[in-house]
Every structure is written in C-alpha cells, then in structure tokens.
Amino acid sequence: MLRGFRHRLLRAAAGRLRSKTVRMRNDAPLVSFTFDDVPDSAYLNGARILDDFGSRGTFYIAAGTCGKQEQHWRVILPEQVAALHARGHEIGAHTFSHVNVQLLSARGMRAEIRKNEERLRQLCGDIRIENFAYPFGDLSLPRKLQLQRHYASCRGIYEGINAGRIDLGLLKVEPLYGRVADADPLASLLDNVVRQNGWLIFYTHDVAEAPSHIGCTPALLEAALRLVQELGIEVVTVGEGLKRIGRAPKIASTAADFDCLEANSAISS
C-alpha cells in the first residue's frame, strides 16, 4: 500500500516538472500508433493492419523479454522484431527487462539502456533507438532527467493531446483499449486533434479478438485508422512526429556516447 503510494507520488512529481519543453511547429495535425511490451499479436495483427493502411507504428520493446510467455500474451519473438524493423516500423526502447525505472539507480538505468540497445542491434543491425516509453508508465525525476538526455523523447501514460508547448521528457497519450469499435469517442478525439493542430499518440498492447484489459481488437484499430484516413490526418511514427514538429532528434546515438554524457553530467543515483 505504502509502496504503491510512493510510486504514484514519484510519478506525479516527475510529471509535474516539464523538463524538456519545446514548442511544436507542425503544419498539420498528426497521429501516431504505439505499442508497449509488444505482445506477438501486436506484430501479427497490429503491424499487419498498419501495413494494410500504408502506415507505420512505433513498437516499444524490452528486448530481454522477447519470446516469453506472460500472463495475457506471449511477447514478440526476436525474429519478429527484426521483421518489424525491415518493414519500416520504428523500434523504440522499453528498458531491457521491462523494469520500473523508479527502482533503478543511475548505474542500473545505464545497464538497462546498454543491454537493450546491444540486443536490438544484434537483431536489427545498425539501428538507432531514439525514443523511449516508461514501463508501467512509472517514472521518477532523476530517471526522467537521465533518460531524456539519451532519447529524443520519452513517452508516458498521462492522457492528453500534445499541442503547443510540450514536454519531450513525458509525451502525452490516449489509450486505444477495448473490444468495441465505437466511432463516436474516436471521432470526437480526432476532431480535437484537428482543432488544436496537435499530435495524438495512441498506445495499446495486444491486438486480439479477445484482448486483455490493456489491449484492443483488430476491429478497433482498423476503425481508428479509417477515421484518421478519412480526416486526412497524417499517421507518423514517433520519430517522424518529432521531425514534423520541427524537433529533429539530438541524442546520444549509442550507449557509449551516453556513457560520455553521463560522465560529464552527474546524476543522482
């Protein structure tokens, strides 16, 4: 109970401090589809549906969990990660072992970054991992500051549309959860994106006919993509979205570069 309260307090404190703010300079509204943990159904169904619509998504992968059987799904296989990358989808970081970053020291965080990057390079070749999502949506201020130096963006689970001046250390999202392809809430949300000239980042987990409580059906994903297409909104990966808002990534391109940044800018552990 107390531990859960502490986690919520740390996340709230880190969320309140807008630590990497920029003003968006996009010419038109944007939508991204992202997948956390990446169950194999997100590859088998989610990526396939995006491909059918001529779109690409961002898949936040904890490489140390690939192929594992979890409570609700089996995690994407290593060869499927390579196939996602080959098909033009973005591979994002989600730590190596899918760990709550609040529990990590600065050294532990560096180890997670390095191991994840090394494994993803083994699978995908000379890949640049530019964007990160916090496992469980949990974060603390020291880890947020540490991660935002290495990655172009860090994405949480705080809900909202990114518009105007935003925090690249904690991009906002909207969940794409559920079994019913109800167009009304989606249409209202997308209307707001157009009105604000914003960037809407959807996130989900599994994409299955009987999804978990944090997943969606193929029909719901298709309905969202169809509405986006009808409104003429561009679908972008998170990396592409950063370029559209006028913020080309300026990051440590490798874990070795990150170690140099860390040495030059000490972080509390």
pLDDT digits (tens, 9 = 90+) for 65-88: 999 999 899 999 999 999 999 999
Express each pLDDT in 60-70 by its tens digit.
999 999 999 99
The SS3 call for residue 2 is helix
Three state DSSP letters for 24-89: CCCCCCEEEEEEECCEHHHHHHHHHHHHHCCCCCEEEECHHHCCCECCCCEECCHHHHHHHHHCCC
Query: pLDDT value at position 18?
Result: 72
Produce one character per residue of 74-95: b if its CB has 16 or more CB atoms within 10 Å, e if not.
ebbebebbbbbbeeebbbbbbb
Question: For tokens 């409570």, what's the residue?
Answer: 71
CA atoms within 13 A on the CB side of 59: 33
Domains present along the chain, CATH in parentheses: 9-248 (3.20.20.370)
> What amino acid occupies position 140?
S
Percent of the chain with pLDDT over 90: 80
> What's the pLDDT at 184?
81
pLDDT beneath 70: ranges in the chain: 1-17, 248-269
